[in-house]
Structure 1
Amino acid sequence: MANLPFALPDIGKDEIAAVSACLDSGWLTSGRKVQEFEAAFASFVGARHAIAVNSATTGALLVLDALGVGRGTEVIVPAYTFSGPAMMAHRLGAKVVLADCEPGGYQVSSEDVHRKITERTRVVMPTHFGGLAYNMDALSDLPSHVALVDDAAHALPTLDWSTNSMVGEGRVSTATFFSFYATKCLTTGEGGMVTTNDGDLAARLRKLRLHGFDRQAFDRYTNLRTGWKYDVVAPGWKANMTDVAAALGLVQLDRLHEMHARRIRIAERYQAALADVPGITLPSEDYGHAWHLYPVQVAQRDLFVSRMGEKGVQCSVHFIPLSLHSYWRYLLPPADRDCPQAEAIYRLSLSLPIYSRMTEADAEQVVAAVRETLREIDGAAGAE
């Protein structure tokens, strides 16, 4: 039986042709393809503005910077999330404040968020974990000095059931950032997107993503008379997306519903085949789920992952809480990293393979491996 990886990108002939055409065009960096991708993405999620960037992490950095995050400010993030966006707040000079999970769940506790808001809080940054929408309405009543920015690195395409809109439409939040990393539901290899309905914020983000220039490179190099003229109007970064990546993203966006349907079928197969298996807790089949991840909970998680690997099925763990990472433990005093719910769910959690290239046979291999591994672990425990 073949080894089954945790994730594989779903790249076909159309993506290869689009990238080849871009390479043949002679224009590789941010240009017409990026503009097309931004327009198509904004339309897809229902936002007024989309700003393409080279990663979700730099997308978070630009938004935090544009919103005035810096020394003397605080940013509240889930303890149960990826380190990148939180680290951007730290690198800007802000104090990072960890909020714990809801009891028994993966999503950040809105009650803990509200408890930790101070007059110095500038941004609250919840995560749509695994592809399931966070209840943004629970944070819709933040004080006027606090901006709501949602981390949608897992959430495409995800329906926000609390607002009956796509994650990224911005009914509640100031801005949303997405990831197009190789394992995501839509990939550009590396890359990301920020969406917002605030025109002034969008304009500032476009300047910040390319050195703070007042004109984009495409505008300068395609104007034969005054193309050399530009001004640095803001302390910017280097965070723009290439046309090569955008060409790939345009095809992936066109295929997104098709690829999402395949993920749904895999998730439904897991739900049906594992529902009666003792020793494993399955995710809820919530409406609008992107199924970027299929997270489960088992006792003896590390042993389970190891035994699954021996059977040729690679699993992963999402996430190691920030409170358990060496740098965050060095940075934050014990009282500020006391997140018992996040650490409890982490000790039980792992993610099974789920991606649109999976076949029915692949799914059956995962199901069989899960059943066999749980029987082995249960049998070993009973023999003690």
Structure 2
Amino acid sequence: MDTEDIPFARPFVGREEEEAVLRVLRSGWLTTGQEALAFEKEFAAFLETGSPEIGAAEPLSPLNCLAVNSATSGLHLALEACGVGPGDTVLVPSYTFTSTAEVVRYLGAEPVFVDIAPGSPLMDPLALESTLERLFQGRPAYPARNGKGDGFGPRGKPRALIPVHYGGLPCDMKAIMGIAQRYQVKVIEDAAHAFPSRTDAGFAGDLADIGVFSFYATKTITTGEGGMVAVRDKALADRIGIMRLHGIDRTVWNRYTEQKASWYYEVVEPGFKYNMPDILAAIGRVQLGRAWALLEKRRNIAATYDAAFAGDGRFALPPSGTADARHLYPLGLNLETLALSRDTIIEKLQERGIGVSVHFIPLHTMPYYRKRQDLMPGDFPESLKRFQRVISLPIWPGMETAQVERVIAVLKAVTE
């Protein structure tokens, strides 16, 4: 254990998941079918009641959950359903993974970046509102540098905005929804990190017009690849349901299992191929039943890290709260007190077999967006500052106490 490499992330799966996969393989139906339908219903029940047991409580309003093959697909479908197209703008934080912004470009629209709040990894409501105001006035998205000119960057009608619940920590959705309602733009929650983040108002991902979850291999529950879209508006749900599978008006399961006119279907739109197969859904159903237990394991690891790094001037604990899903443990480095750079510290940790990562490299510094929108690193100073000072430590449910302690010991040793 002292010398064994510790990966940055590892899925927590076992015999129940194996048996679920075998059940599907033996059923003779491998693509989207009964397992996916059951997963959708159980996930909706969880968001309503905190339990996957269907019928545990009557929902206040119908909640539609639609399983997809990735959260990226879900974001694309959500934006398309909201009518986003060429000439539109969609506001996204710069401090996020590329999928949040790239789906905007899929539809010919332009992402407009918003900085995070000081001391926080989350979208700044004040910056969000000032950016919306500029766009609705017909001005360019970003203020002029050095007071010269009217500004620069994209112009266009804001059609939607995508707050990101970074690391499982929910955004200030009350403030964001209030702003969105004033400007009449749709809100799509990027809840890829945020299951099960339960706030006083409900689960993150069910606090806006549409929420999108990820079940990628590193996420809090996993199907290997996959995602879920949660939406209460039936018209939006119907549109997403049709567009996720070729724009066909009937599901595969319906076409192949109904005897009456089973061969006939109509293509009503040129859709996509974004459905979740039953093999993945079966894994997801098992993982969903473990969601609270997996979260408790993550919280215990985070608490051990907090206790080890609190009061140590070299480090800054990550912002957290009672609703935090603890998908990440992004530890801040007080570089002024350290002899090594952030990147050198990462290299030394990796040399000692400790898997670490960085979340995230701000999108406004990426070549594509930098060139396309004439951006500079300092245009979003809070995003840049946080990126330069944060490393993500391993936090996965199967970590043993000795592994957590080794991560702490090695990090403290390399930063002495």
2:203 aligned residue (151, 166, 178): 166
Matches of 2:64 and 2:246 in 1, distance apart? 20
CA positional deviation for 1:160: 2.8
CA positional deviation for 1:283: 1.2
Aligned positions of 1:165-184 closer than 5 A: 165-170=202-207, 173-184=208-219
Aligned positions of 1:334-353 closer than 5 A: 334=375, 338-353=379-394
1:3 aligned residue (5, 18, 23): 5
Aligned counterpart, 1:151: 190
What per-residue deviation string (whole Å, max 9, x for no partner) do you get for residues 295-319 of structure 1? 0111221111111112211100000
Aligned counterpart, 1:264: 299
What per-residue deviation string (whole Å, max 9, x for no partner) do you get for residues 323-379 of structure 1? 11111112212279821110111011110000001011111111111211111xxxx
CA positional deviation for 1:285: 3.8
2:169 aligned residue (132, 147, 153): 132
CA positional deviation for 1:287: 0.8
Matches of 1:276 and 1:207 in 2, distance apart? 53
Aligned counterpart, 2:396: 355
CA positional deviation for 1:169: 2.5
1:197 and 2:232 equivalent? yes
Aligned counterpart, 1:296: 331
Structure 1 residues 74 and 48, CA, compared in 2 at 3 Å: closer, same or farther? same
Paired AA for residue 131 in structure 1: G
Aligned positions of 1:1-384 closer than 5 A: 1-46=3-48, 48-117=63-132, 118-119=135-136, 120-141=157-178, 142=180, 143=182, 145-161=184-200, 163=201, 165-170=202-207, 173-298=208-333, 299=335, 300-334=341-375, 338-375=379-416
Matches of 2:126 and 2:377 in 1, distance apart? 16
After TM superposition, the score normalised by the length of structure 1 is 0.94
Matches of 1:186 and 1:154 in 2, distance apart? 10
Matches of 2:34 and 2:191 in 1, distance apart? 25
Matches of 2:24 and 2:415 in 1, distance apart? 49
Matches of 2:398 and 2:38 in 1, distance apart? 26
Matches of 2:377 and 2:410 in 1, distance apart? 40
3-state SS in 2 of match to 1:168 = coil
**Contact 2:316–2:332, Cα closer than 8 Å, also in 1:** yes
Matches of 1:53 and 1:160 in 2, distance apart? 25
Structure 1 residues 336 and 228, CA, compared in 2 at 3 Å: closer, same or farther? farther
Paired AA for residue 358 in structure 1: M
Q: Name segments (4+ residues, structure 1) moved above 4 Å.
A: none
Q: How many equivalent residue pairs? A: 371
Structure 1 residues 4 and 286, CA, compared in 2 at 3 Å: closer, same or farther? same
Unpaired segments of 5 or more residues in structure 2?
A: 49-61, 137-156, 336-340
CA positional deviation for 1:166: 1.1
What per-residue deviation string (whole Å, max 9, x for no partner) do you get for residues 180-232 of structure 1? 00000110000000001111111111100001110000000002331111001
Matches of 2:377 and 2:188 in 1, distance apart? 22
Matches of 1:23 and 1:96 in 2, distance apart? 41
Q: Indicate the larger mover: 352-361 or 324-333.
A: 324-333
Matches of 1:116 and 1:285 in 2, distance apart? 27
Paired AA for residue 216 in structure 1: T
**Identity between Structure 1 and Structure 2 (%):** 40
Paired AA for residue 84 in structure 2: V
Matches of 1:285 and 1:175 in 2, distance apart? 24
After TM superposition, the score normalised by the length of structure 2 is 0.87
**Contact 2:32–2:278, Cα closer than 8 Å, also in 1:** yes
**Contact 2:122–2:171, Cα closer than 8 Å, also in 1:** yes
3-state SS in 2 of match to 1:121 = strand
Paired AA for residue 63 in structure 2: R
Matches of 1:348 and 1:337 in 2, distance apart? 15
Matches of 2:378 and 2:199 in 1, distance apart? 29
What per-residue deviation string (whole Å, max 9, x for no partner) do you get for residues 231-264 of structure 1? 0112211100000000000000001111111001
RMSD: 1.4
